[in-house]
């Protein structure tokens, strides 16, 4: 990551000189087809830009960070109270999109757009990890890292939909939950690398020459031997990378980071990308691999002259002395889906099999990817993240496994409402299942509107009102609300 400091000294936000106690970070995208950060730097470095200033832009062409305000200066980036608590960062957007109204847009070059989105996303992960360490923030703590859209839902920002509208429109599969977890993962990896560096620094003087050579190769990021990687390692690709067969490799593949599925000799098979939105299962010669800016998850210990690797137990991420729990890998399309992971006992409620069955009944199941009425590629029981044309699931059982994983997000919303006392009573299992089904169908914002400060009887009655689509009452939605209500009251 490269940070270019170009402070907007003529902008009123800088001149006001107001400071904030940094409590969080807010991610934006610029909302127009402009990949150049310098364009915004020039436009906003004037006394007239009184209602527009962020702390940094991420350039869509290069991935470079343009810091435009000191991090602790108060900016005007979200139109709400988060201006006084959160650092604001804008990701530039592809030039090949065209806004047609509101957050809707068309795209003339999907691969080029995807490359820009991946580039800005990857840099945003690094930048936010850096800022979390700088200000002692836990990226997994509620409200610390939010999007402009999430800020609006919390009443902290104006009514924008970025950057989720961009990620959804490009169909790249990125989410804010995944973004936060990847930041935590990046911080944890940095701690592991630092630990290994400390071990190397303690080597004897006779070993210094060898160890310095190894250290140089890590710093360069270029790997010449498969010994530095293993299955599960995260890697980047060199600019001249091609597939093992010599076939050309598209830029969107070279611009992403990938998880090694297997490795043998000079042949590494790349599986999923780091965001789990694409899987290529393609072999690459190891000469084209490099450490993902020294972020390999399974980086081996440095070698010693005694041909015995030192035993190292990498430290866990120190964020309030608690290491983040990373999610299980998503199930693979066109293959047997792995068994769902058992949740740890966190005291939170989970949707039961009865609830899953109700949701599955009304969602319906399709094993081949299709476009829903909103034009979004969908598969299984309403799953959309990372789905593309041609994707298939091997069985209804695999679709059910995928549904259960999706429901962790929506049952999490219900648990959040319980913890924040938006729901003023402790629900029983049937009530929890009914609310999870409602949330999966109507969304978190509508769930909160339904339950806020209401008793169970009122919630049950009001639930029946949410039976419309396109302004018209729909028989299918009416039946679903009736069954959710009956479950809620049982």
**What was the pLDDT predicted at 105?**
93
H/E/C letters for each residue in 35-56? CCHHHHHHHHCCCCCCCCECCE
For the chain, how many residues are written? 490
Determine the Cα–Cα distance for residues 365 and 379; give it in Å rounded to an integer: 8
CB 157 within 8 A of CB 148: yes
CB 31 within 8 A of CB 77: no
**What was the pLDDT predicted at 24?**
97
Residue of 272, 293, 416 whose CA lies nearest to 349: 416
Task: Name the token pair of 330.
Answer: 């998503």
Determine the Cα–Cα distance for residues 30 and 442; give it in Å rounded to an integer: 28
Task: Name the token pair of 352.
Answer: 């039961």
Residue of 90, 84, 95 whose CA lies nearest to 68: 90
Task: Name the token pair of 26.
Answer: 């807010």
- Assess whether 279 carries a catalytic annotation: no
Residue of 182, 387, 178 whose CA lies nearest to 277: 387
Please state the φ and ψ torsions of residue 237, each to the nearest 5 degrees: -120, 145
Tell me the pairing of strands 145-147 and 24-29: parallel
- Give one DSSP letter per residue of 250-319, joined into a string: -HHHHTS-EEEEEEETTEEEEEEETTSS-EEEEEEEGGGEEESSS--TTPPPPP-TTS-PPP--PPPP-S
Determine the Cα–Cα distance for residues 58 and 122; give it in Å rounded to an integer: 10
Which residues in the chain show pLDDT less than 70? 50-51, 189-229, 275, 292-347, 373-374, 470
**What was the pLDDT predicted at 331?**
39
Residue of 253, 238, 235, 137 whose CA lies nearest to 189: 235
Contacts of residue 95, defined as CB under 8 A and 6 or more positions apart, other chains included, come to 33, 34, 35, 60, 116
Task: Name the token pair of 319.
Answer: 């964020």
Task: Name the token pair of 157.
Answer: 């920002």
Task: Name the token pair of 259.
Answer: 């998880």
Task: Name the token pair of 265.
Answer: 């000799």
**What was the pLDDT predicted at 191?**
57
**What was the pLDDT predicted at 273?**
78
Biggest CA pair distance of the chain: 80
Q: 248: which DSSP letter?
A: B
Q: Catalytic pick from 90, 150, 279, 363?
A: 363
**What was the pLDDT predicted at 287?**
86
- Assess whether 372 carries a catalytic annotation: yes
- The position carrying tokens 């679709």 is 399
Residue of 191, 196, 208, 269 whose CA lies nearest to 235: 269
- Give one DSSP letter per residue of 122-138, joined into a string: HHHHHHHHHHHHHHT--
Q: Catalytic pick from 5, 72, 325, 372?
A: 372
**What was the pLDDT predicted at 204?**
37
Q: 324: which DSSP letter?
A: P
Contacts of residue 452, defined as CB under 8 A and 6 or more positions apart, other chains included, come to 422
Contacts of residue 421, defined as CB under 8 A and 6 or more positions apart, other chains included, come to none
- pTM, 2 dp: 0.46
H/E/C letters for each residue in 329-393? CCCCCCCCCCCCCCCCCCCCCCCCHHHHHHHHHHHCCEEEEEECCCCCEEEECCECCCCCCCCEC
CB 124 within 8 A of CB 27: yes
Q: In what order do the strands lie in the sheet with 56-58?
A: 3-5, 65-67, 56-58, 86-91, 24-29, 145-147
pLDDT tens digit sequence for 88-114: 999 999 999 999 988 899 999 988 999
Residue of 271, 378, 282 whose CA lies nearest to 332: 271
pLDDT tens digit sequence for 217-243: 333 333 333 345 677 777 888 888 988
Task: Name the token pair of 426.
Answer: 């402790």
- Give the helix, strand, coil percentages of the chain, each rounded to 5: 40, 15, 45
Positive or negative CA dihedral for 468, 376, 382, 159?
A: negative
- Give one DSSP letter per residue of 57-84, joined into a string: EE-TTT--EEE-S-TTB--BSSSSGGGG
């Amino acid at each position: 990551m490269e940070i270019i400091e170009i402070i907007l000294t003529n902008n009123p936000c800088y001149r006001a000189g107001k400071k904030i106690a940094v409590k969080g970070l807010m991610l934006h995208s610029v909302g127009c087809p402009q990949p150049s950060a310098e364009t915004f730097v020039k436009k906003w470095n004037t006394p007239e830009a009184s209602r527009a200033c962020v702390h940094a832009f991420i350039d869509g062409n290069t991935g470079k960070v343009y810091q435009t305000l000191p991090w602790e200066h108060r900016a005007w980036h979200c139109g709400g109270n988060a201006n006084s608590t959160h650092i604001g960062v804008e990701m530039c957007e592809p030039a090949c999109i065209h806004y047609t109204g509101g957050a809707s847009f068309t795209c003339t070059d999907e691969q080029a757009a995807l490359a820009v989105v991946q580039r800005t996303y990857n840099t945003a992960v690094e930048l936010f990890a850096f800022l979390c360490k700088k200000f002692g923030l836990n990226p997994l703590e509620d409200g610390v890292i939010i999007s402009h859209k999430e800020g609006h839902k919390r009443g902290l920002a104006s009514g924008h939909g970025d950057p989720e509208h961009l990620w959804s429109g490009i169909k790249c599969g990125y989410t804010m939950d995944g973004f936060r977890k990847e930041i935590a993962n990046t911080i944890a990896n940095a701690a592991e690398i630092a630990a290994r560096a400390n071990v190397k620094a303690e080597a004897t003087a006779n070993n210094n020459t060898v160890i310095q050579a190894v250290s140089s190769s890590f710093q360069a990021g270029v790997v010449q031997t498969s010994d530095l990687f293993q299955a599960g390692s995260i890697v980047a690709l060199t600019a001249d990378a091609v597939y093992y067969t010599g076939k050309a490799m598209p830029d969107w593949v070279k611009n992403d980071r990938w998880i090694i599925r297997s490795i043998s000799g000079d042949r590494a098979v790349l599986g999923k990308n780091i965001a789990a939105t694409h899987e290529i299962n393609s072999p690459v010669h190891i000469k084209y691999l490099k450490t993902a800016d020294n972020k390999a998850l399974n980086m081996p210990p440095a070698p010693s002259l005694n041909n015995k690797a030192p035993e190292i137990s990498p430290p866990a991420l120190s964020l309030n002395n608690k290491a983040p729990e990373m999610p299980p890998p998503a199930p693979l399309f066109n293959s047997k889906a792995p068994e769902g992971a058992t949740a740890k006992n966190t005291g939170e409620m989970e949707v039961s099999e009865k609830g899953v069955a109700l949701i599955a009944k009304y969602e319906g199941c399709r094993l081949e990817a299709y476009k829903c009425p909103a034009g979004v590629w969908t598969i299984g029981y309403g799953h959309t993240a990372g789905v593309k044309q041609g994707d298939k699931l091997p069985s209804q059982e695999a679709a059910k496994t995928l549904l259960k994983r999706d429901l962790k997000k929506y049952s999490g919303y219900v648990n959040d409402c319980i913890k924040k006392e938006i729901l003023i009573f402790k629900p029983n299992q049937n009530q929890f299942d009914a609310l999870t089904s409602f949330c999966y169908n109507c969304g978190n914002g509508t769930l909160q509107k339904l339950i806020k400060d209401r008793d169970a009887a009122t919630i049950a009655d009001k639930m029946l009102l949410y039976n419309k689509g396109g302004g018209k009452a729909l028989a299918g939605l009416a039946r679903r609300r009736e069954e959710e209500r009956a479950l809620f009251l049982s």
